[in-house]
A = this chain, B = another copy of it.
Amino acid sequence: MSIQSRRERERAEREKLIITAARELAEAEGWEAVTTRRLAERVEYSQPVLYSHFKGKDAIMAAVAVEGCADLAVELRAARTAAPDARLAIAGVSAAYVAFADRHPALYDVMFSQAVPLPFATPEAPPALQAAFGELAETVRPHAGGDNLGALTETFWAALHGLVTLMRGGRLPREHHELRLGLLLARFTG
């Protein structure tokens, strides 16, 4: 029994190693630089080993995305609980969200922009993902009034996401970012 469990543990460690290596490579050089060959070389195994852990490159990206969601949830929670009132909370959480996307562009992309094989808007979505959304919802709640909290949170999230992605794609000028964020907050804290 102990031998088998040791092998399972080693397998799990290697899987974690693959995910971490993929994330580091992506964050350092972007996802286009994450090839199965480079990834295999980095974890010091041959290419086919990757496929004994994951169905394909997409699945590796999905695993990285889940990790990213957990990290984001932690940061959003910290920003929310550190704020003295609801108004500063939504401002702080928004700033934290944008800062996360800015600090981890490749991670953010795989979480929310790229197509990855993950269930998102369903009860089967990864808990880390639901946790991140939950933090946003708790932040929005005091400003919801009579509106549907879930839908309002989704709308606010979408606005943040749009600001982040359009700016990073060069579609919006960086210089007015703070102004835009302020306008958005004004419209959602009315």
**Chain A residues close to B by CB (< 8 Å):** 112-115, 120-122, 147-148, 150-152, 154-155, 157-163, 165-166, 169-173, 176, 179-180, 183-184, 187-188, 190
Q: Are A165 and B163 in contact (CB under 8 A)?
A: no
Q: For residue A165, which residues in chain B have a CB less than 8 angstroms away from its CB?
A: 113, 161-162, 165
Q: Is the interface of A mostly helix, strand, loop or mixed?
A: helix
Q: Are A176 and B150 in contact (CB under 8 A)?
A: yes
Q: Are A121 and B160 in contact (CB under 8 A)?
A: no
Q: For residue A114, which residues in chain B have a CB less than 8 angstroms away from its CB?
A: 169
- Closest residue of chain B to A167 (Cβ to Cβ) is B158
Q: With A158-B159, A158-B163, A162-B160 known to touch, is A151 a contact of B171 (CB < 8 Å)?
A: no
Q: With A115-B169, A120-B170, A166-B157 known to touch, is A147 a contact of B183 (CB < 8 Å)?
A: yes
